[in-house]
Amino acid sequence: MQFNKKFGLLDAFLYSLMVGAGEAFFVAYALELGYPQLKAAILVTVPIVIGGILQLLSSYGINKVKSFKKWTVVGVFLQALIFLTLIFFQEQLKTSYSLFLLIITIYWSFSLGITPSWNSWISKLLKDDEIRSFFSSRNIFLAVGTLLGLLLAGLTLHYAPDEIFGMRKFNFIFVLCFLFRFFSFLSLLKQPDVHFEKVPNRVVSNVPEKVFLKEFIRYSALFKLGVYFSASFFAPYMLKQLNLSYLQFTLILSNAFLGRMILTYFIKKKIHLFDINLIQLLSSIGISIIPLFWIFLRSFEQIIFLEIFTGILWGSFEVAFFIICFEEIPKNQQAQVMSRYNFLHTLAIGIGSLSGLWLFSFFEAKASTYHLIFLISAGLRLLTLFSFPRKKIYLKKVLPFISMRLLAVRPNVGSITKPMWQLFKKKD
């Protein structure tokens, strides 16, 4: 059996609908249930940190199952069920924050835990001449599906009556998300399995003895620490301090994501003309000062313009990061180096987010407290720039595509993605 492109694209579209309509609104749901802003903010990053730690251990489970397909489809099915638990345990969720946090953490554990197996499975299924065509099409389906999912949820929350088919609005959205992911699961079942190769059980790998690589990985992790110091707070700030409507919140998320996608689409054809490392430096500077604007901007119109610009900056940062790794890391060492990076990245997210949440807990949940968090986050990011490793890097050839796995949509970032290094092993 061969890879079925139709079902591959259907999976991408349904999956992105779930991401746009579901996970992006977990914070809004927590606030709707009456939880304090601090507890809602915790849901943004802490489950990702725990899920990231578990992802580092996923190789043990994959090797136990001995099948990339089985590990992936079971994880996808269980992730779909998470949305039903949000409905069935709604009454308990109103009074048990620990249960709410547990459910969201399990969601992220499945989301991140299946990423390595999905990457390996799809990369083995695709032939060399199919990779560019499939992922070019897949990126379009992901972008359209995510935007449609965001708009579907936002318009439902803003315009729909309190009950839809006997369900509250959030429950109706979660049912849709369950169906999106369930049919995504069915699409994945249509794909054939592949020959299994044991995954190395490594949590932390050594970095090759290249000074620039060591400095680059260290800088990237420290920069993310500064970013995630404030990452938890943008959604509750918009919904509770600025009192934006669900529709306005949705449009801001959509524009951040759209800005990122537009940049990625246009820059990949011209980026080989520029110093890639300089692009990342300039985008890092822009990203570092973005939180300062949140202190002064108040209106929806101002923020939506800022988020488009933010998405463009993050798109530049992400593309540059991908290419630097692609150019600088020996292909036979990409998996080892990225395992090291993922460990440091998860550690940095944990330290950054927990530090921000800890500081926030000492103050009243008001605008000035958020502004303090944004100010410190900007300061941490700017301090990190002093460790930025400079080295002129130019693409040796134009990359045919940039392969990223979409995980979530976020204000002030655009989206959370993971690169698919497995696809480039075929180009050795």
Please give the pLDDT value at position 428: 39
What residue spans define the domains of the chain? 5-189, 211-427
CA distance 34 to 27: 11
End-to-end CA gap in the chain:
26
Cα angle 421, 308, 153; round to 5:
85
Please give the pLDDT value at position 417: 76
Is 157 strand, coil or helix? helix
Please give the pLDDT value at position 414: 64
Please give the pLDDT value at position 203: 58
Please give the pLDDT value at position 85: 96
Supply the pTM of this predicted model. Answer: 0.91
Is 412 strand, coil or helix? coil
Chain length of the chain? 428
Other beta carbons less than 10 A from residue 197's beta carbon: 11
Please give the pLDDT value at position 109: 92
Give me the CATH topology for the region 5-189.
Growth Hormone; Chain: A; (1.20.1250)
Instruction: Point out the residues of the chain with pLDDT beneath 70.
Output: 1, 201-209, 268-269, 331-335, 396-403, 414, 420-428
Residue with tokens 């990053």: 45
Domain formed by 211-427, architecture: Up-down Bundle (1.20)
Q: What is the DSSP letter of 272?
A: G
- Name beta bridge partners: 416: 408
Pairing relationship of beta strands 163-164 and 416-419 according to DSSP bridges: unpaired
Among residues 384, 272, 386, 405, the alpha carbon closest in space to that of 327 is found at: 272
| Element housing 74 (H / E) | helix 68-88
Please give the pLDDT value at position 427: 42
Residue 406, phi then psi, degrees to nearest 5 = -70, 130
Among residues 278, 313, 306, the alpha carbon closest in space to that of 292 is found at: 306
Among residues 280, 310, 318, 279, the alpha carbon closest in space to that of 404 is found at: 318
